Amino acid sequence: MRFVAACLLATLGGNASPSKDDVRAILGSVGAEVDEAKLEMLFKEVDGKDIAALIAAGREKLAFASRGAAAAAMDASPAAAAGAAEEKVEEKEEEEDEEDLDMFSLFD
């Protein structure tokens, strides 16, 4: 996620097409390590794509996901909601390890 954030910071700072060196410089300024494989994967995924269009597509996905979750919560009974909350905690623990790789699905 830090690679995406650094890329977006460069874009917000006026750099319409940030390079890998720009991302490295931003991450280096805060002492963050740069995993070259993940940086390469990010740039392969966003190559030739407009950052503003990617942000808009991500917003649509998030809006749809939040509406779906709200509708499901309204239909669930209190006991089912409690069980679902416990399952989410367990799922979240499993997903934390894969968090960096999951972020790239936003660019599909």
Confidence of residue 17 (pLDDT cuts 50, 70, 90): confident
In a domain, residue 108? The reply is no
**99 has pLDDT over 70:** no
Query: According to the model, what pLDDT value does residue 108 have?
Result: 52
Same domain, 37 and 70: no
At which residue do the structure tokens 């209190």 appear? 78
Same domain, 42 and 66: no
Mean pLDDT along residues 12-40: 91
Same domain, 14 and 37: yes
**34 has pLDDT over 70:** yes
Q: Work out the number of other CB atoms within 10 angstroms of the CB of residue 67.
A: 10
CB 89 within 8 A of CB 37: no
pTM: 0.53
Residue bearing the bigger pLDDT, 26 or 90: 26
When divided into structural domains, the chain yields a total of 2
Share of the chain above pLDDT 70, in %: 59
Q: Which domain holds residue 1?
A: 1-49
Same domain, 8 and 45: yes
Same domain, 40 and 64: no
Query: According to the model, what pLDDT value does residue 1 have?
Result: 84
In a domain, residue 29? The reply is yes
Q: Which residues contact 95 (CB under 8 A, 6 or more apart)?
A: 102
Joined together, the tokens standing for residue 6 give: 């650094």
In a domain, residue 4? The reply is yes
Same domain, 42 and 62: no
Same domain, 45 and 55: no
Same domain, 87 and 68: yes
In a domain, residue 6? The reply is yes
Chain-centre distance of CA 82, in angstroms? 27
